[in-house]
Amino acid sequence: MPYLFTSESVSEGHPDKVADQISDALIDYFLAYDPSSKVACETLVTTGQVVLAGEVKSEAYLDVQDIAREVIRKIGYTKSEYMFEANSCGIFSAIHEQSPDINQGVERKKKEDQGAGDQGMMFGYATNETDNYMPLPLELAHLLLRELSVIRREGKVMKYLRPDAKSQVTIEYSDDNRPQRVDTIVISTQHDEFGKDAAMLKQIREDVINIVIPRIKKKLPKRVQQLFNDSIKYHVNPTGKFVIGGPHGDTGLTGRKIIVDTYGGKGAHGGGAFSGKDPSKVDRSAAYATRHIAKNLVAAGLCDEVLVQVAYAIGVAKPVGLYVNTFGTSKVTLSDGEIAKKVEKIFDMRPYFIEQRFNLRTPIYSETAAYGHMGRESKVVEKIFNKGKNNELKLKVELFPWEKLDYVDQVRKTFGIQ
């Protein structure tokens, strides 16, 4: 029997994502000026106020207030009527030195013996239902909000848009787990006050259906375009009004959108957030590594869908376990347990080797903090830190290296896939 599956996304102006972006900007700045930095920082944002807290071990000295304001300005909180504005908000820093008890469990005389920065389990997932091996409901939910952000920044149509927004997409799947149609789209977008409530709602609904939806459909492959039809149920700003939003509407905290950050509820999640953590924290680095494994296994033709789990003990380099679940879609005559044993030999999951494989001690994290850490394009870019200042730094870095399909040939060779 067909079934419905739903995923949500939030925009870069959502209060939790504002917090994530500030935390990851701090990570990038610390790593840019001292790649050996150990950082775990949290951010809280509310009406007119930002609170920074966390632990750091670094040779870099940063103007954390200036970094936070730069992030807020870039997101678009630049007007006093938002009640949260880049230049005027208060910023309180309670960042202090990292616990030596934790650090002694991570650093070792031999770099390859580097221990995991915490215990826990991390999951990676991939499916061949989209070109980037991500679940379709989440991919569409992200795309809707990215396009809404582009429209807001262009300022040509829908000029009433403000930075905060949420989306949700429900897809109908067949018995064999293939997408059949788009069933429901939910979009709530913050907006200026520009008339009576009913008129505002009518205008926003019409603009979403007639401007946003056609723009995203053009960016989709034909097989996905065909899933859109005239019977889609739209819920646009279902509360009727969304003027008060962002950190003024809701307090935001780092790490509260972990399902948006990963697979939209498909597969599994180990519970650990990503933003604000340097790569010695396996919550982050091992989650990227398991996504890399999952994506390369599916791309190699080993299976249609796969979930990969890795687990660690704090201070111990070698994982305590690696688990693979192909959901019955495997194309090879091996059990999932046997597949896992072979995968262990292909991918070294010790923390130091994960860091080296993806060059994770480079400032590549700000870009991950909105619209998902997975399913993004791997590319080399130049980033500038402290632009125009005496300590200006330009660096070329590779974003989203865990999305590369650089192990496909090795997987095919190991498993005898033609």
Residue 253 in any domain: the answer is no
Task: Note the pLDDT tens digit of each residue in 351-366.
Answer: 999 999 999 999 999 9
Residues 165 and 269 in one domain: no
201, 241 Cβ separation under 8 angstroms = yes
Last residue of a domain, one of 184, 215, 246: 246
Residues 275 and 395 in one domain: yes
Residues 267 and 394 in one domain: yes
Name the DSSP letter for residue 159.
T
Question: Which residue type occupies 322?
Answer: L
Residue 271 in any domain: the answer is yes
Annotated binding site for L-methionine: 55, 98, 250, 281
Distances (CA, A) of 393 to 116, 383, 386, 389: 30, 8, 7, 9
Residue 216 in any domain: the answer is yes
- On the CB side of 371, how many CA atoms lie within 13 Å of its CA? 22
Q: What is the mean pLDDT of residues 381-391?
A: 96
Local confidence band at 311 (pLDDT 50, 70, 90 cut-offs): very high
Residue 113 in any domain: the answer is no
Annotated binding site for K(+): 42
Residues 285 and 211 in one domain: no
Task: Note the pLDDT tens digit of each residue in 166-195.
Answer: 999 999 999 999 999 999 999 999 999 998
CA distance 242 to 19: 20
Given a cut of 80, whether residue 339 has pLDDT beyond it is yes
360 by DSSP, 3-state: which? Answer: coil
Residues 264 and 408 in one domain: yes
Annotated binding site: 14, 16, 42, 55, 98, 164-166, 241-242, 250, 256-257, 273, 277, 281
Q: What is the mean pLDDT of residues 229-255?
A: 97
Residues 409 and 342 in one domain: yes
Annotated binding site for Mg(2+): 16
Residues 226 and 274 in one domain: no
Task: Note the pLDDT tens digit of each residue in 99-138.
Answer: 665 555 566 567 777 888 789 999 999 999 999 999 999 9
CA distance 281 to 340: 23
As to burial, measured by CB atoms within 10 angstroms (0-12 exposed, 13-18 middle, 19+ buried), residue 328 is: exposed
Residue 276 in any domain: the answer is yes
Calculate the average pLDDT of the chain: 96
CA distance 194 to 160: 8
3-state secondary structure 247-259: HHHCCEECCCCHH
Q: What is the mean pLDDT of residues 216-229?
A: 97
Cα 245 from chain centroid (whole Å)? 21
Local confidence band at 26 (pLDDT 50, 70, 90 cut-offs): very high
Share of the chain above pLDDT 70, in %: 97
Residues 181 and 276 in one domain: no
Number of domains forming the structure of the chain: 3
Residues 286 and 347 in one domain: yes
pLDDT score of 99:
67
Residues 400 and 307 in one domain: yes
Residues 240 and 333 in one domain: no
Last residue of a domain, one of 246, 272, 288: 246
167: CATH:
3.30.300.10
Task: Note the pLDDT tens digit of each residue in 239-250.
Answer: 999 999 999 999
pLDDT score of 100:
64
pLDDT score of 98:
72
Distances (CA, A) of 344 to 249, 290, 293, 341, 402: 46, 11, 10, 5, 17
Annotated binding site for ATP: 14, 164-166, 241-242, 250, 256-257, 273, 277
pLDDT score of 103:
55
- The domain containing residue 266 runs over which residues? 120-127+260-415
Residues 360 and 410 in one domain: yes
